[in-house]
Amino acid sequence: MTKRPPSLRQKYSAYHYRAVPQEDTELTHVGPGTPCGEYLRRFWHPVAQSADLKDVPIALRILGEDLVIFRDGRGRAGLLQRHCSHRGTSLEYGFIEECGLRCCYHGWLFDIDGAILEMPTEGEGPYRGPLHHGAYPAREFHGLVFAYMGPPDAIPPFPNFDTFEAPGHTLSRGQPAGVSTVKPCNWLQVMDNVVDPAHESFLHTRSQGSLITDRNGRPVQELANLGELAFIQTPVGLLCQEARRAGPDIWVRSIEYIVPNIVQLAQVPTLPPTYRDGETRITFAPMVTRWRVPIDDTHTLELAFVRVRHGQENAYADRPSKVILSNYGGRPYDEMQRFPGDYEAQISQRPIARHGLEHLGKADRGVTMMRHMIREGIRAAAAGQDPMGVHRDHVGPWPTFGNDTVIRVAPAASADDDDALVRATARQITQSILQAPPMTAGAAIRI
Amino acid sequence: MTKRPPSLRQKYSAYHYRAVPQEDTELTHVGPGTPCGEYLRRFWHPVAQSADLKDVPIALRILGEDLVIFRDGRGRAGLLQRHCSHRGTSLEYGFIEECGLRCCYHGWLFDIDGAILEMPTEGEGPYRGPLHHGAYPAREFHGLVFAYMGPPDAIPPFPNFDTFEAPGHTLSRGQPAGVSTVKPCNWLQVMDNVVDPAHESFLHTRSQGSLITDRNGRPVQELANLGELAFIQTPVGLLCQEARRAGPDIWVRSIEYIVPNIVQLAQVPTLPPTYRDGETRITFAPMVTRWRVPIDDTHTLELAFVRVRHGQENAYADRPSKVILSNYGGRPYDEMQRFPGDYEAQISQRPIARHGLEHLGKADRGVTMMRHMIREGIRAAAAGQDPMGVHRDHVGPWPTFGNDTVIRVAPAASADDDDALVRATARQITQSILQAPPMTAGAAIRI
Amino acid sequence: MTKRPPSLRQKYSAYHYRAVPQEDTELTHVGPGTPCGEYLRRFWHPVAQSADLKDVPIALRILGEDLVIFRDGRGRAGLLQRHCSHRGTSLEYGFIEECGLRCCYHGWLFDIDGAILEMPTEGEGPYRGPLHHGAYPAREFHGLVFAYMGPPDAIPPFPNFDTFEAPGHTLSRGQPAGVSTVKPCNWLQVMDNVVDPAHESFLHTRSQGSLITDRNGRPVQELANLGELAFIQTPVGLLCQEARRAGPDIWVRSIEYIVPNIVQLAQVPTLPPTYRDGETRITFAPMVTRWRVPIDDTHTLELAFVRVRHGQENAYADRPSKVILSNYGGRPYDEMQRFPGDYEAQISQRPIARHGLEHLGKADRGVTMMRHMIREGIRAAAAGQDPMGVHRDHVGPWPTFGNDTVIRVAPAASADDDDALVRATARQITQSILQAPPMTAGAAIRI
């Protein structure tokens, strides 16, 4: 926890507010042996795109560890410590073989599980018995490569969210091949953005006109109206809800935070929605499931699944220009200044944001709750317990709760009454979601 | 103070002289809370050019603090701490409004005095009472933006040097718009150059032919003759004088150091000068008033005023090619080596020069005296007193003393006698200057 | 010495092998006052190419010290501490004069031995008696500039290896003018490569087809067969021997390590060799003598002599494309990955390799022995003794032992017997070499 300097009550008083407190190391440091690093290591994380595993290994850095990833001739993904066990040469210069990866320097051959299959310069010796190189389990799934970097005896089940199998849709990757989205800042401030629906009203809408479009490509100007915010804890994380009056309808947007580093969110619906016969309420399932994986304390990798309707193209992976560019780096500084997006808002909070200088308010309740959940998880892991989010005994897909819902509800007579009506409607929808998670319950949903 | 290794009395003995002592931290470190940093914060400093304050805010770093500067829709310059009080996003990505600057992320609006005018995501709460963001007073003056970054209750009068109002001239900025001169070294070694007239004879003249031109564009080869040096303390700083015989005249050049970080100097006169009827002595007032403002311990920003004659163009700001390029970075290394200038001489003294390795001599007396004056000022500020250079009760313009004077004095019979004559003449001129500062006294001067 | 984590006996156990021990500082740190730095300073080292000393001085860094090197108007090489004794300006911006180097700032003039010849701004004072600037002895020899940076009273004889005067050949430089080979890693891991003949079988041969060619330009695929390894201590260092059956001949390749940082090696012979009348054994002398000189702890400079036959061109210096590119940096990353060479193998062992993570084997005995010899030398120097390799009283050229020998020996009946025959033959050749070093003994050799 960090110490907060007193707030300023006088104008022109920067001189009295120059101290920059340290970051909250418990929540932000991710290297081996750190509390948060050990916590995050209790989960599977995507670390690369399958499409990028080709004929040369890839050097990567995850949670402060230098690694190399590859797919061998048998089609198996391998994730090894980067430096050869023999003399330390980087295996990024190694050669992929039918079975494993061979160091370029003296030809030691490593299986994907770390087994050292050959030490050609050594003949029979000198290392008797099976000797292993440092390896982590890796598994490809729908275009992403996942890894588990925690204690071998605590390996959790592979992720199985109910959103992974949406009828009529294919789970696909959220980026074109060869494109990796890296933000030069700590993972937690990227997650802060997830549990902060209010920023959509400002950063993406009011400031510059809406940068967010609905299914028909219309900029959704309705986002500029700050709605009724609610933050609801779920069995897997947090629903970050913003409910708004939209003409004859009430629109309840529930972006979902899933511990420890996942967001699920739906594309904004067309407003008013196209109700089918007799329909007065539509639930839109998440289109995106996105992980933010720490590279190290000050760099964060983003990888995502998107749900693509059968027969349609993947707007994220097949048409790079469709991706919201303001979430990525590489733009000219002048453009960053004139059209800032998530990238600029997040990375400029310092390489590691300083919570001791923040002034959080009602709209930041999601931030407060998420950090509390993470801190609880960190302490559970440190105590040798499974943190929340490790689903060991669950049979079947894991329920999740995020969605956008639009419901036809006639406006109340006064603005204040309508605000209350919007809040009440949002609460009812939340109740129904929590009782019957839409994707698991097989509700009639759209994506 | 730094410890000096013994000087070398034997050839080929570098082995015994390898230790590099630490820098003099009292004089060179400028961050918040450092002795020199607090001293420099007792003064107004230019921090930007007015011409650069346009429709986006500018991120800048002054005295080790990260700030953002802008001019709002009402035309008021604002200087704010860079990171938003809400969640820390950089205000360099903010939007300039009619009144103040708005953060891009959640729309908090900051007035130029730091008052937080709006927290749109918070409605009525949760911060009751006036809450402020860190701000410093900023003021535009003749094309430069000045700031005061010291304790609010110790704010000094705005600079008012007598050179600011030269008859027939306009005070203008010393650089083209968009050009900032940053030297990657400590501020003090840039100032060392100011109080060191002898370097003009070598760096700018002997080594490469004269790089310094008079009013008619003639390279002033006379500078190659090392003159009679004198260093005279004044009420505002130090006169660094070099007096030379120049044919039928004696030329007394007095470059002026003004505490803590200012130089005033005249353009070199044409020699022989064009005397008007009956005139036998001409005083040339400073053309340039230049500040060196620390960005941090190892970077220094230069901003200047030049005096431009009515109806003429500003040679510094309007014709960038006229600026002495050797004072700036960005040249190819080969050109830097073959035609070194102030930039190369200063930055290559290490990022922070090590006084413990210097061998100062007679020609370096100005350096010794200036450092002593700065150290006195640092200690005065630390003791809670106004350091020299803070003019609280002075009525009217503040007298300054720098100028070049040329006087017709027939040469003495012998070289030695003439050297004595030059020295005596210089002393007389100094006496008259100190008794009646030329600009304040309304003397007949030229610029 | 470094502490070694336990080796891994289980698959997927990287989690238990994440600790990265510190480097062996005794062997790897080279700055002033470090044990290894002081040891290396007991020897002459090449630090630049003569062809690069032109009309401007060159800034260089050797053993962690910032220096400047130049050849003055009298043709004498000078090596001075980089920062002027007066006020610290870098002498890389100085002007070369007939006698010495003059600082650009105030014109102090330094002789090559450090004597300060002029302080033009000081006239007669204030420094009485001879004052010197830090200088090191430098000497040009066959196109390289050597320096001695150790204690003045311990200066050793200039190198005089017997390979420096090969009949019919001229000693020439190993690189084109203006090309300096710098590896961004510690010097010791570059040396590890020298005493490691087995890497030729893998890195340069098996992995990618042979990158090593014989005198006729044929790729030497025979290198792919890992031969019989032997490591033999010599009076000057270590012979790293690999003996192989090559058809009717036995080929004994002996790469020579010479303390502290030198390798001598022959070009691979044509196989089978062209015996002259009655000849059944040919000794090929080293073509290359190469130094690896630490720039600092994490950068290493390579400079070499090659022996060029009279009337032929210098393949290394005159035709840059002939140089084995994989020993150099600057290639595109994709090419580095697909065709790794010594550069990639060495620099990717981390900026300073961590011995505590190595698993050395039989083939690495040369590494173990060389590090032991260096450690002995470090401790001798620290104890005030001349380390091995300082030849004070030797009359005439200093014997060296490296060579490739090919001898006609009919194969034995079985593979095992032939292996034994190869080993025995190699031992005999070693005996004869140690008794009569080929170059010194005036043996009939080829280059």
Among A323-337, A347-361, B345-359, which is the least confidently predicted range?
Answer: A323-337
Contact criterion met (CB below 8 Å) for A88 and C354: yes
Does an H or E element contain A171, and which?
A: strand A169-173
Neighbouring subunits of A (3+ Cβ pairs under 8 A) = B, C
SS3 C201: helix
Provide, rounded to the nearest whole percent, the portion of chain A with pLDDT above 90.
Answer: 80
Set of chain B residues whose Cβ sits within 8 Å of the Cβ of C110:
none
Task: Give the confidence band of C321 by pLDDT, cuts at 50, 70, 90.
Answer: low
CA distance A136 to A148: 6
Any bridge partners for residue C304, and if so which? C290
User: Taking 60 as the threshold, does the pLDDT of residue B10 lie above it?
Assistant: yes
- What's the rounded Cα separation, in Å, for the pair B258 and C171? 62
Cis amide bond preceding A157, omega within 30 = no
**Tokens encoding B64:** 């080790």
ipTM above 0.90, yes or no: yes
Are A357 and B83 inside 8 Å of each other by CB?
yes
Q: Does B339 touch chain C (CB under 8 A)?
A: no
Q: Would you say C271 and C249 are in contact if contact means Cβ atoms under 8 Å apart?
A: yes
CA C303 from chain centre, in angstroms, equals 7
DSSP character string of C141-177: ETTEEEEE-S-GGGPPPPP-BGGGS-TTEEEEESS-T
A133 touches chain C (CB under 8 A): yes
Q: Which residue of C has its CA nearest to A66?
A: C18
> Pairing relation of β-strands A116-118 and A109-110?
antiparallel
Cα of B245 to nearest chain A Cα, Å: 51
Confidence class for position A325, pLDDT limits 50, 70, 90: low
Judged by average pLDDT, the poorest of A64-68, A129-133, C155-159 is A129-133
DSSP state of C266: P
Hey, are the CB atoms on A361 and B152 less than 8 Å from each other?
no
Q: Which residue has the higher pLDDT, B134 or C315?
A: B134
| List of chain A residues whose C-beta atoms are within 8 Å of the C-beta of residue C353 | 87-88
Which pLDDT score, from 0 to 100, does residue A446 have?
86
Shortest distance between the Cα of C285 and any Cα of chain B, in A, equals 37
d(CA A281, CA A225): 21
Burial (0-12, 13-18, 19+ Cβ within 10 Å), B37: buried
And the tokens for C285? Answer: 């002398």
Q: Which of residues 87-126 of B touch A (CB under 8 A)?
A: 87-90, 92-93, 95, 102, 104-107, 111, 113-115, 119-123, 125-126
Q: Which residue stretches of C242-396 are H helix?
A: 333-338, 342-347, 365-382
Calculate mean pLDDT across residues C267-294: 94
Contact assessment for residue B156 and residue B386, using Cβ atoms and an 8 Å cutoff = yes
Beta strands at A138-141 and B77-81: parallel, antiparallel or unpaired: unpaired
| C15/A149 Cβ within 8 A | yes
Minimal-distance CA residue of chain A relative to C226: A121
pLDDT tens per residue, range B311-364: 998 888 876 655 555 677 888 999 999 999 999 999 999 999 999 999 999 999
> Rounded to 10 degrees, what is the CA torsion of C18, C22, C24, C30?
140
For residues A380-385, give the mean pLDDT: 98
Chain B residues close to A371, C-beta within 8 Å: none
* C32 vs B: CB within 8 A: yes
Q: What is the CA radius of gyration of chain B?
A: 24
Chain B, residues 361-420, CB within 8 A of chain A, namely: none
| Alpha-carbon distance values, C77 to B239, C74, C95, C139 (Å) | 42, 9, 14, 6
Predicted confidence at residue C320, as pLDDT, reads: 60
Q: Which are the contacts of B117, defined by CB distance < 8 A and separation ≥ 6?
A: B99, B100, B109, B110, B111
Report the C-alpha gap between B326 and B335 in whole angstroms.
10
Alpha-carbon distances of A233 from A238, A257, A402, C364, rounded to whole Å: 4, 9, 12, 59
- Mean pLDDT across A394-401: 94
C58: which DSSP letter?
E
Cα(A345)–Cα(A363) distance, integer angstroms? 16
**pLDDT band (50, 70, 90) for residue C180:** confident
A88 → closest Cβ in C9, C10, C349? C349
Which pLDDT tens digit goes with each residue over C135-153?
999 999 999 999 999 999 9
- Mean pLDDT computed over A423-430: 97
For residue C167, is the peptide bond before it cis, meaning its omega torsion is within 30 degrees of 0?
no
> What does the alpha-carbon distance between residue C331 and residue A194 come to, in Å, rounded to a whole number?
41
Q: Are strands C100-102 and C109-110 parallel, antiparallel or unpaired?
A: antiparallel
Chain length of chain B? 447
Are B7 and B359 contacting, i.e. CB atoms less than 8 angstroms apart?
yes
Look at strands C403-408 and C281-284 and give their pairing.
Answer: antiparallel
**Of residues A431, A408, A405, the one with CA closest to residue A243:** A405
Q: How many angstroms from the chain centroid is the CA of residue B337? A: 25
What pLDDT shows up at residue A218?
86
Whether residue B327 contacts residue B316, with contact meaning beta carbons closer than 8 Å, is answered with no
Mean pLDDT of chain B: 93
Mean pLDDT for A379-386 is 98
- In angstroms, the CA A349 to CA A352 distance is 7
pLDDT exceeds 60 at position B370: yes
Which C residues in the span 150-209 are in contact with B, Cβ-Cβ below 8 Å? 150-152
Strands lying side by side in the sheet with A65-71: A58-62, A65-71, A77-81, A135-136
- How far, in Å, CA of B436 to CA of B430, rounded? 10
Predicted confidence at residue C323, as pLDDT, reads: 53
pLDDT of residue C417: 97
User: Tokens 């030379």 identify what position?
Assistant: B244
Does B225 reach chain C within 8 Å, measured CB to CB?
A: no
Phi, psi of C386 (to 5 degrees): -70, 125
In tens, the pLDDT along C237-278 reads: 999 999 999 999 999 999 999 999 999 999 999 999 999 999
Looking at the complex, does the CB of residue B76 fall below 8 Å from at least one CB of chain A? no
Residue B264 CA to residue B259 CA, distance in Å, equals 11
Write out the two tokens for B115.
């008052």
Choose the weakest-confidence range: A418-427, C67-76, C322-331.
Answer: C322-331
Check CB contact under 8 Å for B134 and A17.
yes
User: What token pair was written down for B173?
Assistant: 């900025």
Chain B: touching chains (3 or more CB pairs < 8 Å): A, C
Determine the residue of chain B that is closest to C115 in CA distance. B11
d(CA B172, CA B307): 6
Residue C207 to residue A107: CA distance in whole angstroms: 8
Going by DSSP bridges, is the β-strand pair A403-408/A249-258 parallel, antiparallel, or unpaired?
antiparallel
3-state secondary structure chain B: CCCCCCCECCCCCHHHHCCCCCCCHHHHCCCCCCHHHHHHCCCEEEEEEHHHCCCCCEEEEECCEEEEEEECCCCCEEEEECECCCCCCEHHHCEEECCEEECCCCCCEECCCCEEEECCCCCCCCCCCCCECCEECEEEECCEEEEECCCHHHCCCCCCEHHHCCCCEEEEECCCCCCCEEECCCHHHHHHHHCCCHHHHHHHHHCCCCCCECCCCCECHHHHCCCEEEEEECCCEEEEEEEEEECCEEEEEEEEEECCCEEEECCCCCCCCCCCCCCCEEEECCCEEEEEEEEECCEEEEEEEEEEECCCCCCCCCCHHHCCHHHCCCCCHHHHHHCCCHHHHHHCCCCCCCHHHCCCCHHHHHHHHHHHHHHHHHHHHHCCCCCCCCCCCCCCCECCCCEEEEEECCCCCCHHHHHHHHHHHHHHHHHHHHHCCHHHHCCCEEC
Per cent of chain A over pLDDT 70 is 96
* pTM for the full predicted model: 0.95
Q: Which chain B residues are closer than 8 Å to C88 by Cβ? A: 189, 348-350, 353-354, 357-358
Residue of B64, B67, B59, B54 lying closest to B136 (CA atoms): B67
Query: Encoding tokens for residue B58?
Result: 């500018």
Count the Cβ atoms, other than its own, within 10 Å of residue C335.
12
